Structure 1
Amino acid sequence: MRVSLWHVSVSLVLMAGVVAGVSIHRTSVVVRASSAERSAPYTTWHNYLGGADSAQYSALKQIDRSNVSELQQVWFYPAGNNGFRYGSNPIVVDNMMFVIGKDNNVVALDATTGAEIWVHDNQKPRNISHRGVTYWESRDRSDRRLLFSTDNMLREIDARTGKTIESFGNKGAVDLREGLGRVPSTIRQIQSGTPGRVFENLLILGSATGEEYESPPGDLRAFDILTGKQVWAFHTVPHPGEMGYETWPPDAWKYIGGTNTWGEITVDERRGIAYFPLGSPTYDFYGADRIGANLFSDCLLALDARTGRYLWHFQTTHHDLWDYDLESSPKLMTITRDGKKMDVVTQAGKNGFVYVFDRVSGKPVFPIEERAVPQSDVPGEKSWATQPFPTVVPPFARQKFSADEVDPYIADPKEREKIKAIVLASRNEGIYTPPSLGTTMETPGNNGGANWGTGAIDPTNGTFYIQSKEAPSLLKLEARPPRRQMTGTPEAQGHIVYLQNCQSCHTESRAGQPPAIPSLIDIVGRSGADRVRTAVHDGLPPMPAFPDLMDEDITNLIAYLKDPSKGEVPGDILARMMAPAPSNKPKLGPGGQRYWTGYGYMNSTEGLPAIGPPWSTITAYDMNKGTIKWQIPLGEISALAAKGIHGTGSYWPRGGPVVTAGGLIFAGTKSDNKLHIYDKDSGKQIWEIELPAGPEGIPAVYEVGGREYVAISARPNVEAPVENRQPRSSSGADSAPKQTQGYYVFALPEVKTKAK
């Protein structure tokens, strides 16, 4: 066994104030003790994922195995069909629930009735940290604040009134584009859809930088909650003299982006340690301009939460060419090994692996070894020779897609054979097969495995639960044609922009690849030109921003999408515009010619995965032993279930589970519009609740006045497999269906509550 060479344990020689990757602005620390800290552990839901430790666990047990079938919906709050995207996680303090509501406003609700208490008008921002907000309160609770981001601005409001706190930053806002070593006006996207973490008087933030060349860097930062001043920053692409600088080309920090925590941060409040799951550097699938191991990309990184001082890291993928971000929150667990209690941090990845480390030293608890992996044949690329493989803890996802695993439920036999031929013809050497100029099979795919919100724990017995997607990707690197002066109608010019930038994912017919990549047919009519412009300009995960597109390009693209019939381009002009750059005139960048690929999601024409089921699972690990206790399909496809086909799992659930002391797991799936309830010990489904919309996000479990509630967000299911979609009318995104996007809240009948 060889421990990964890029694992670095706690350094005892780091000098305060002279720390790799850290700049510190010292301010006074206001020690805070929230009402959550004064409550019994795991009995509140004051924070995203339940608490700073991201446990996704509730010690409440009024709702249990014996009575969960009696749950009833007690209220619904409509958030409008243009509110949060891809799921949210409400937080609850006392009797107030804080959510993202209609028009991306932050709203306070009565947690027992859903009645509005106040609405903070965000002036219809293009983008908001839609997965939730962050709460802070002073020790005496006289000062209570909410923090969230809109349009790259960190904002703060009074939690009791919803009014802007003018003393924070510049009249209530801090520009997150500043202080990153780039010209702020060139940064199109930096805020994350995921809220940060509060520790004492600090808000610790990650970012969503986009996935393209020239994306901004993913520096980790902490801001003073009272003033908005930046307190510390950690450079995830090291600057000269900082640890890890030698793992990049010289001055890579000036042009490399990404390497960011767009997912979930976890804090060990007792020790003052913050854990960051970091993602891949840009560009995701080609790294000739970033030769090297590329620290701190794809690392679980531990920092001193107060100062940003480096403690330890482990890199799970060296020189990432697969977009194998870490984003599911690190889980703080106490397990028993060799008869002794051990505090550990557990991390799941997109690659299907689970890693377990000593929480303080970063030493792997179970062996991890470096193994040789297939190498790249792409010009200019130099893939890493080995990757770290856990040798004891088994993977939770498939890591190779063979031709005999093609989805047997694809209705057309000819289509099945076509997909089988594609699989057989691709470069397909299992996990870490690098992208090539031919078709390459990536398994798990870049949107498979563990994603945001997908982990939960049972702190009473050392069980780790991970929700996973099975979604292989078919990659093919190509040189993008250079920008040339275009002529013709706006629609024709927009057609060329579409072919150069959008077709690889949304397909030539604009039909998309649901559920991950939506159809663009009548997208302007359904969503409006402004929303389309924002999505292209800022990105809309998993779609990256397109920083190289000019405003005129986007305007022409919208014209084409609005009326494709006017977008015909003469063949000679199309051939000239789509021709690659001459080989003797490379694109900008140290690596020479740049290459791109679509994300390569593999679906049938019916909108079902190319790979056979299960398409999503929940896996329960006994982390005391590093073994799997059970694995089950998560949900199903309604159209298939109607034909008697069960056990398929849902397709592309977004969000994750919550575990409770009542013996339950709550998890929502949008392909069947159901909230599923499983036995946490066996994985057996106990009950399910069908909703009018597709549940997404992470449930919140809370108690008010002795009554336990379960809340989950949901939105219209327009990205499900074809037979399972909810239609929209042509008159706009908010026309049909009506009032189904929002927050659904359940509890036991009041008589049962009193009896308990």
Structure 2
Amino acid sequence: MKTRPASRTLVISGILIALLGLLIGGGGARLAALGGSFYYLAAGIGIVLTGLLLIVRWRAALWVYALVVLGTLGWAVYEIGFDWWQLAPRGDIIFLLGVYLLMPWITRRLPRGASLPLAATLLLAAAVGIVALLTNPHDKSGSIEAASLDLPANAGMPDDDWRHYGRTLAGDRYSPLKQIDGGNAGKLEVAWQYQTGDVRGPSDPIETTYEVTPIKVDDTLYLCTPHNYVIALDAESGQEKWRYDPKVPIVPGLQHLTCRGVAYHEAATATGQTCQKRIFMPTADARLLAIDATDGRPCQDFGQNGAVDLTQGMPNMTPGYYYSTSPPVVANGVVIVSGNVSDNVSTTEPSGVTRGFDVNTGKLLWNWDSGNPEATTPLPAGQHYTANSPNSWSVSSADEKLGLVYIPMGNQTPDQWGVQRTPQAELYSASIVALDIKTGKLRWVFQSVHHDLWDMDIGGQPSLVDLDTSTGRRQALIASTKRGDIYVLDRTNGQPIVPVHERPVPQGDIPDERYSPTQPFSDLTFLPRRPLEERDMWGATMLDQMVCRIMFKSARYEGIFTPPSTQGSIVYPGNFGVFDWGGVAIDPVRQLMIANPDYMAFYSRLIPRAANDTGVAPGEQKANEAGTNEMMGTPYRVQLNAFLSPLGLPCQAPPWGYMAGVDLRKSEIVWQHKNGTIQDSSPIPLPIKMGVPSLGGPITTGGGVAFLTSTLDSYIRAYDVLDGTQLWQARLPAGAQTTPMTYRSAKSGRQFVLVVAGGHGSLGTKAGDHVIAYALPKASS
């Protein structure tokens, strides 16, 4: 009577194991037919055989499974070496099943000695796992030999302040403050907290998010919220001074609801007009507001009662399809505003025109329309700018001495179909454009992607720095890009300082589409060391990893710039970007760059549209950049998503995010460390450091400390700029997909580090409305 239950246990176990083997073997057969690895087919056969032998109680059952374990171990190490996070999904089910087969209710009903080979192979696998845990194959260690340049004081910018989005018009995100340094950064603590009260509503778009970097002028902080509230806070205490609500309506066409920041202008002398100190902010309903910085009231002498209507001259003006999410540039008496045009909705969109307005009156001074680039005089009433022209949705920089504003350009929508693009659109898409601040006339253009079919906009604010090179000091512009290349240009003429080379890229087969035969590659790059391969596929288990391998082999992929296809194409780096709007931070004194590169593959597929399919009418869809995009006016829709497993995990192996340091004098990446944990991205909130993506940029300081808040886990972290050592971290109450800032308060003399933690709708980080200031304890500061 005692034998029967034990035999039943073996039979049931054997059947379940055989079924698992059939599942693995079936998927393996599909993968092998696609030209992929034969491992899963072989492993599936071995597991089926193990189950069948277990049913008949043969000693060979565990011996066969020992061969499966040994074969898995050899195959895994051969494919990816001693990389724990790659080994784990290859062997998790195999190892755990092996442990189950060594349980007494299995082994005591098999002949003596049956378990010894399996036990030995599992011990070997465990030893390999321990070695892999102690190995870090992805980090690059090093220390930058910092320069120490004497730079002229920044006229009109006190060291204590942060008066522009990137602190200065140069967009370097560098503060000369030194109170917080490598020796005391670990002592930072919360100094004050404030909540804006602006939270997501049920009718808001998915990407309702805080991406704001506040500015600080004298004793006041200024920031905006997703619904375009403008708020002034006391820089010492965080107490609210005033707020202004422009009453922005929420319409279905909005793809985003965010505000990255505001701009500030102070008249050099009192001129008698109202609002000597002004805050400028564009709104989600396409207005440019001027607000008195002292009391939050509209500046009545600017435009009409403090507002300029940015829909003037706009063609195809569906509400929500044109607005600006980024702060304007105020330079040499001109307020320069660009705007976001909705991505991938249709071929009949508003214009991507950039305009310059008088800082006092709001009068239109010039317009630069990439569809008609020579005509910069103000557009006459009743006429329209060029429809659907390339736009600039990010933050621009300016050099007031040179009289130039530097515009990072996006694409002509739709991103994945370029048949109808004009020669002008081809010239200015995915480019840095330098315009004369006073006239809007084009001075030079540099393009980072030819005929962009991948949504590789230049998202980051260009950073300006006087750079020491082998040929002397150069007036440089540093442009980070979604594709991962860093372009170092002479900002006077747009010519590369770091060499750029044209290289052949894959070609496509969509009818009537054209493809650039080459693309420009910079010698300073964060491009992945090699293209993705099947062995780079990942998952929580061998099963979803196998599915990811099948998906990878079923798609088209020939490395970077694999074009869109009806088959489905892997886009890597993905259009989330190696670098997006957060850009990079430049230390002009030490001549180094701090960066937070991301590595996430995306998947796109063109879906042919039926002849009578006209799509969804403008204004009737809730626009969203993820999922299936309409691309009305083209023969296709496009499916566009992150490349994920059936469990929703990245199909591409970690790390997905880093912090990195670059010696700009040598154009060399000196250190690069995986950054961030899966604490807020996994079902079990464990702070395992795998390196996660970040959306938002770093800052750096005279104290040699860099700060970042924008990883998918809710932390603020401090790093040593020379070698990347993490100096400090603190838990945040919500996601902080923003760029932080730092300033010093005259009242206490304390240096504060400020972060806005409000979450990001598209990334799914925790929502909030928090503004948090950190500082050293009062006794230490």
- TM-score for the superposition, normalised by structure 1: 0.74
Quote the residue 2:42 is aligned against.
Answer: none
How far 1:540 sits from its partner (Å)? 5.8
Q: CA separation of 1:704/1:442 partners in 2, compared to 1, >3 Å: closer, same or farther?
A: same
Partner Cα distance (1:325, 1:188) in 2: 20
284-293 vs 111-120, greater mean Cα deviation: 284-293
Q: Could you tell me whether the CA contact under 8 Å between 1:658 and 1:667 is conserved in 2?
A: yes
Partner SS for 1:343: strand
Partner SS for 2:482: coil
Partner SS for 1:387: strand
How far 1:716 sits from its partner (Å)? 4.6
The answer to whether structure 1 residue 82 and structure 2 residue 211 are counterparts is no
**Among 403, 406, 409, which residue is 1:278 paired with?**
409
Quote the residue 1:704 is aligned against.
Answer: 745
Aligned residue pairs, count: 599
Q: CA separation of 1:144/1:370 partners in 2, compared to 1, >3 Å: closer, same or farther?
A: same
Residues 20-68 of structure 1: per-residue CA shift (max 9 Å, x gap): xxxxxxxxxxxxxxx983344x542011121111111110011111111
Quote the residue 1:748 is aligned against.
Answer: 776
Partner SS for 1:697: coil
| 2:533 counterpart letter in structure 1 | S
Quote the residue 1:167 is aligned against.
Answer: 301
Q: CA separation of 1:644/1:125 partners in 2, compared to 1, >3 Å: closer, same or farther?
A: closer
How far 1:711 sits from its partner (Å)? 0.6
**Among 422, 426, 450, which residue is 1:318 paired with?**
450
The answer to whether structure 1 residue 214 and structure 2 residue 348 are counterparts is yes
Quote the residue 1:146 is aligned against.
Answer: 279
Quote the residue 1:288 is aligned against.
Answer: 419
| 1:401 counterpart letter in structure 2 | L
Q: Which runs of 5+ in 1 are unaligned?
A: 1-34, 243-251, 486-496, 502-532, 549-587, 727-736
Quote the residue 1:439 is aligned against.
Answer: 568
Q: CA separation of 1:625/1:88 partners in 2, compared to 1, >3 Å: closer, same or farther?
A: same
Alignment of 1:644-663 (within 5 A): 646-651=688-693, 653-663=694-704
How far 1:454 sits from its partner (Å)? 2.6
115-124 vs 56-65, greater mean Cα deviation: 115-124
Partner SS for 1:694: coil
Quote the residue 1:233 is aligned against.
Answer: 367
Partner SS for 1:290: coil
Quote the residue 1:71 is aligned against.
Answer: 188
Alignment of 1:96-495 (within 5 A): 96-101=220-225, 104-126=228-250, 130-140=259-269, 143-150=276-283, 151-180=285-314, 182=315, 185-186=317-318, 188-211=320-343, 212=345, 213-238=347-372, 254-255=386-387, 257-290=388-421, 294-338=426-470, 340-390=472-522, 392-397=523-528, 400-407=531-538, 410-481=539-610
How far 1:747 sits from its partner (Å)? 0.9
425-434 vs 663-672, greater mean Cα deviation: 663-672
Partner Cα distance (1:240, 1:146) in 2: 31
Q: Which runs of 5+ in 2 are unaligned?
A: 1-152, 201-207, 377-383
The answer to whether structure 1 residue 51 and structure 2 residue 168 are counterparts is yes
Alignment of 1:497-512 (within 5 A): none
Partner SS for 1:416: helix
Residues 395-444 of structure 1: per-residue CA shift (max 9 Å, x gap): 3446632211123xx32321111111111221111111111111111111
Residues 222-254 of structure 1: per-residue CA shift (max 9 Å, x gap): 111211111111122336999xxxxxxxxx985
Residues 510-550 of structure 1: per-residue CA shift (max 9 Å, x gap): xxxxxxxxxxxxxxxxxxxxxxx99955x4667899796xx
Partner Cα distance (1:54, 1:366) in 2: 20
Partner Cα distance (2:620, 2:777) in 1: 43
Q: CA separation of 1:646/1:189 partners in 2, compared to 1, >3 Å: closer, same or farther?
A: same
Q: Root-mean-square deviation (CA), in Å? A: 2.9
How far 1:477 sits from its partner (Å)? 0.6
Residues 599-631 of structure 1: per-residue CA shift (max 9 Å, x gap): 221123554322111111222222212111111
Q: Could you tell me whether the CA contact under 8 Å between 2:479 and 2:487 is conserved in 1?
A: yes
Partner SS for 2:420: helix
The answer to whether structure 1 residue 621 and structure 2 residue 662 are counterparts is yes
Partner Cα distance (1:195, 1:254) in 2: 23
Q: Could you tell me whether the CA contact under 8 Å between 1:277 and 1:326 is conserved in 2?
A: yes
Partner SS for 2:640: coil
How far 1:664 sits from its partner (Å)? 0.6
| 1:371 counterpart letter in structure 2 | R
Partner Cα distance (2:226, 2:495) in 1: 46
Q: CA separation of 1:699/1:254 partners in 2, compared to 1, >3 Å: closer, same or farther?
A: closer
How far 1:145 sits from its partner (Å)? 0.7
Q: Could you tell me whether the CA contact under 8 Å between 2:226 and 2:259 is conserved in 1?
A: no
| 1:157 counterpart letter in structure 2 | I
Q: CA separation of 1:164/1:543 partners in 2, compared to 1, >3 Å: closer, same or farther?
A: farther
Q: Could you tell me whether the CA contact under 8 Å between 2:629 and 2:640 is conserved in 1?
A: no
How far 1:73 sits from its partner (Å)? 0.8
Partner Cα distance (2:371, 2:575) in 1: 22
| 2:690 counterpart letter in structure 1 | T
Partner Cα distance (1:442, 1:479) in 2: 19
Partner Cα distance (2:433, 2:577) in 1: 22
Alignment of 1:504-653 (within 5 A): 536=621, 539=623, 588=633, 593-638=634-679, 646-651=688-693, 653=694
Partner Cα distance (1:483, 1:667) in 2: 50
Q: CA separation of 1:746/1:451 partners in 2, compared to 1, >3 Å: closer, same or farther?
A: same
Partner Cα distance (2:169, 2:580) in 1: 18
Partner Cα distance (1:144, 1:374) in 2: 53
Q: Could you tell me whether the CA contact under 8 Å between 1:258 and 1:279 is conserved in 2?
A: no
Quote the residue 1:38 is aligned against.
Answer: 156
| 2:294 counterpart letter in structure 1 | R
Residues 243-300 of structure 1: per-residue CA shift (max 9 Å, x gap): xxxxxxxxx9854x25111111011122111111111111100111126570111111
Residues 584-604 of structure 1: per-residue CA shift (max 9 Å, x gap): xxxx5xxxx522212221123
Partner Cα distance (1:478, 1:422) in 2: 17
| 1:219 counterpart letter in structure 2 | V
How far 1:644 sits from its partner (Å)? 7.5
Partner Cα distance (1:167, 1:343) in 2: 38
Partner SS for 1:422: helix
Partner Cα distance (1:659, 1:450) in 2: 17
Indicate the percent of aligned positions where both proteins have the same amino acid.
30
Residues 360-385 of structure 1: per-residue CA shift (max 9 Å, x gap): 12211122122221111001111111
Q: Could you tell me whether the CA contact under 8 Å between 2:210 and 2:760 is conserved in 1?
A: no
| 2:594 counterpart letter in structure 1 | Y
Partner Cα distance (1:387, 1:483) in 2: 36
